[in-house]
Amino acid sequence: MPEKRLLDIRNLDAFYGAFQALFGISLYAERGETLAIIGANSAGKSTLMKAIVGLVTTRNAEIRFAGGELAGRPTQQIVREGIALVPEGRRLFRSLSVEENLLVGGHLHRPGPWSLANVYDLFPVLREKRHQPSTSLSGGQQQMVAIGRALMANPDLVLIDELSLGLAPIVIRDIYAALPRVTAAGTSAIIVEQDTSQALAVANRVYCLRGGRITLEGTPASLTRDAISAAYFGV
């Protein structure tokens, strides 16, 4: 039933110059789904996210999104089609305040459920700090701004790269607690994680990457710990 598929990637090879980072990736996400992409460092997870939004050169790929073809199109157009990426390391705009970061995220005025007020309801701590420089926030709060900034674009699909990397456990819990409200608002999500247990708890389906290839896919319930370990570490 391809109509249900929001994102449908076939045969994606990605390159950094002559170096090939991804090999024949095929992956899909249905509307309303949350996908987890797990894998060790340098498995190609971030490259896959960048390839979807056109920041990395792809070859041979078919990347169909909401019925249109994305491969080869510039990033700023792909974003207009309704995909937002929360980049690894948050990468907030340093010279902008918290609220300005959110406003920049929403500058295309794409219609949808997300507004400043809704983002502040999702992460109330940001409302208090709205006029502070984004650099004055803790790592976890910065991740909330980065997610809020992506949601402000009212995307149909939000990609969150390394959601929990380098964050305190208590903040990670808060952010994961907010995710169901994101998908309930109609936004599908792809979460890239090294912390497998957190990701498996919220995901409808999981893909595991190793060495630039998909080594495992399935629903969290159908995958045993051993199967995940084997796919993750290659042992």
Q: How many residues bind another protein (CB under 8 A)?
A: 26
At closest approach, how far in Å is the CB of 95 from another protein?
5
Q: CA 214 to CA 235: how far, in whole Å?
A: 15
The residue among 32 and 133 lying less far from another protein, judged by its C-beta, is 133
Q: CA 105 to CA 123: how far, in whole Å?
A: 16
Q: Which amino acid is at 192?
A: V
The residue among 152 and 214 lying less far from another protein, judged by its C-beta, is 152
> How far is residue 179 CA from its own chain's centroid?
12
Decide: is 153 part of the binding site for another protein (CB under 8 A).
yes
Q: Of the candidates 14, 36, 48, 84, which one interacts with another protein according to CB under 8 A?
A: 84
At closest approach, how far in Å is the CB of 103 from another protein?
6
Q: Are 200 and 220 in contact (CB under 8 A)?
A: yes
At closest approach, how far in Å is the CB of 189 from another protein?
16
| 111 HSE (CA, 13 A, CB side) | 0
At closest approach, how far in Å is the CB of 190 from another protein?
15
The interface with another protein within residues 161-220 (CB under 8 A) comprises none
Q: Are 49 and 9 in contact (CB under 8 A)?
A: no
The interface with another protein within residues 89-148 (CB under 8 A) comprises 91, 93-96, 100, 103-105, 107-108, 133, 135-136
Q: Of the candidates 80, 168, 169, 177, which one interacts with another protein according to CB under 8 A?
A: 80
At closest approach, how far in Å is the CB of 21 from another protein?
17
What residues make contact with another protein under the rule CB under 8 A? 53, 55, 74-76, 79-80, 84-85, 87, 91, 93-96, 100, 103-105, 107-108, 133, 135-136, 149, 153
